[in-house]
Amino acid sequence: MDYNIIILSISTLRKQVDKCVGRWGDKKITYYSQLEPVSRMLIEEKGNIDEVLAICTTKAIEKTEFSEDDGESNLVMSAYDYYVKRINGAFPNNEIKFTQCPSNAFDEKNEIEKENAIVEVARYILNKKNDIKKLDPDANLNIWIDSQGGTRDVNMLLNAIISTLRLLGINSKGIYAVNFYNKEGTVINQTSTYQIIDFVSGINEFTLYGRAESIVRSENNEFKGFLFEKTWNK
């Protein structure tokens, strides 16, 4: 049986958490935690999410006091714990495993700690893949990415993790974010955007080392043609 993991980075909390509307397709939900929409969409649509791997900075696991707009007041918990609380509240009978990674939260301003976080997340995913294959050689590890959370620095770290996993032969099944405006968030599919970034990296890889794996993975033939023309017909 396949194993499905959502990877996301935990956003910090403000003193008052807004009550928002989330949408995907014909679905409409009310939510508070910034990371709810993509997780809830994937859990509902895929139906068999086994684990959420949450990338946590030191600020994401610090307890803080906050209130929900038109909801609970004087809550004291970390952003990570609040996310888990909201998902468990939406799916009370779920058997999802929530894993904080790296095991020791990192300082997003510390470059060495960020690099170590990339290694630990990649190693965790690779070990998970190997464990699954030992139990069932036909099983697949499916990775789903929520690129919404965290600061800009942490978001860049998530991009580095995606690239590292690709180098290890582990590709994401889908990458999603939320287009947010006026307290309404619409889930959008960003997979093709990341494929373009991967393809541009592949052009550089091919030019320097003659490796074409990243180029071959791209499904955008028009974009391929444009870059080939502009790169080699100078």
Determine the angle formed by the axes of helices 79-90 and 36-46, rounding to 10 degrees.
Answer: 40
Can you tell me the distance from the alpha carbon of 86 to that of 190, in angstroms, rounded to the nearest whole number?
Answer: 24
Interacting residues of 101 by C-beta distance below 8 A, sequence separation 6+? 53, 54, 55, 56, 117, 120, 121, 124
pLDDT value for 152? 65
What CATH code is assigned to 3-189?
Answer: 3.40.50
pLDDT at 194 over 80: no
The per-residue pLDDT of the chain, averaged, comes to 82
CATH 3.40.50, the chain: domain bounds: 3-189
pLDDT at 226 over 50: no
Q: What is the pTM of this model?
A: 0.81
pLDDT value for 220? 47
- Given a contact cutoff of 8 angstroms between Cβ atoms, the answer to whether 80 and 33 are in contact is no
| Residue pLDDT, tens place only, 74-130 | 999 999 999 999 999 999 988 999 999 888 888 888 888 888 888 898 899 999 999
| Residue pLDDT, tens place only, 168-183 | 778 888 999 999 889 8
pLDDT value for 218? 47
Calculate mean pLDDT across residues 184-192: 86
Give Cα 212 distance to the centre of its chain. Answer: 26
